């Protein structure tokens, strides 16, 4: 388009601005094209920049962090200025932080493993794990509480009671009667669940 406008501008001796207006192209768009003419198209693309870190710089930061005087316990800002003083790499503290964080240098080594997100470990044998479930039941316009004790492995209904209240004592009575019904059972964990209704 730029070549086309310049060619016809010289042939007709009309200003390029007039031709651009006749074509229906915005003048700012035309001059943007003119300014970018001959350069690589950088629109919506990752183009390597002069200020981006090279691989050897990242390696130098990581190596300096590992070999620092306090065994990697220095703060990233202090490391930045120590690297500048020793002519290792000249980067900003934010860059040092990003490189160290991306390589897991701020993680604690002896962090306990978390069970979060792994789901519930399903019991494999009967009476290994009991669940207590409480839900509302409407009987002739009156609400009662259905307190039930379920076996975790077989989903067998161990015991249930319909109670007028949902106090701690009501739940304890229901659990005690479930234990009395199965005296040989030793559930390792009694885990009450949320009320449903």
Instruction: Say yes or no: 141 and 183 in one domain.
Output: yes
Residue 134: which domain range? 129-192
Instruction: Say yes or no: 188 and 148 in one domain.
Output: yes
Does 10 reside within a domain? yes
The residues with which 161 forms a beta bridge, in sequence order, are 147
- Note the pLDDT of residue 43: 66
Distance set, CA 107 to CA 54, 100, 117, 140 (Å): 24, 10, 19, 59
Which of 111, 118, 175 is closest to 147 using CA atoms?
Answer: 175
Instruction: Say yes or no: 21 and 59 in one domain.
Output: no
- Note the pLDDT of residue 197: 47
- Note the pLDDT of residue 60: 92
Please give the model's pTM, rounded to 2 decimal places.
Answer: 0.39
Does 122 reside within a domain? no
Q: Which residues of the chain are under the pLDDT cut of 50? A: 190, 194, 197
- Note the pLDDT of residue 28: 81
Does 115 reside within a domain? no
């Amino acid at each position: 388009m730029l070549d086309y406008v310049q060619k016809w501008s010289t042939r007709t001796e009309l200003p390029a601005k007039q031709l651009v207006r006749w074509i229906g192209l915005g003048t700012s768009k035309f001059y943007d094209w003119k300014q970018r003419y001959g350069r690589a198209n950088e629109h919506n693309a990752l183009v390597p920049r002069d200020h981006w870190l090279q691989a050897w710089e990242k390696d130098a930061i990581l190596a300096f962090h590992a070999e620092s005087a306090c065994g990697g316990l220095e703060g990233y800002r202090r490391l930045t200025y120590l690297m500048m003083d020793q002519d290792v790499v000249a980067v900003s503290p934010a860059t040092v932080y990003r490189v160290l964080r991306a390589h897991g240098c701020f993680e604690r080594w002896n962090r306990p493993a978390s069970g979060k997100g792994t789901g519930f470990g399903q019991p494999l044998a009967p009476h290994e794990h009991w669940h207590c479930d409480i839900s509302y039941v409407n009987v002739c316009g009156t609400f009662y509480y259905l307190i039930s004790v379920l076996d975790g492995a077989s989903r067998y209904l161990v015991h249930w009671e319909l109670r007028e209240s949902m106090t701690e004592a009501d739940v304890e009575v229901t659990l005690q009667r479930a234990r009395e019904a199965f005296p040989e059972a030793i559930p390792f964990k009694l885990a009450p669940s949320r009320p449903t209704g």
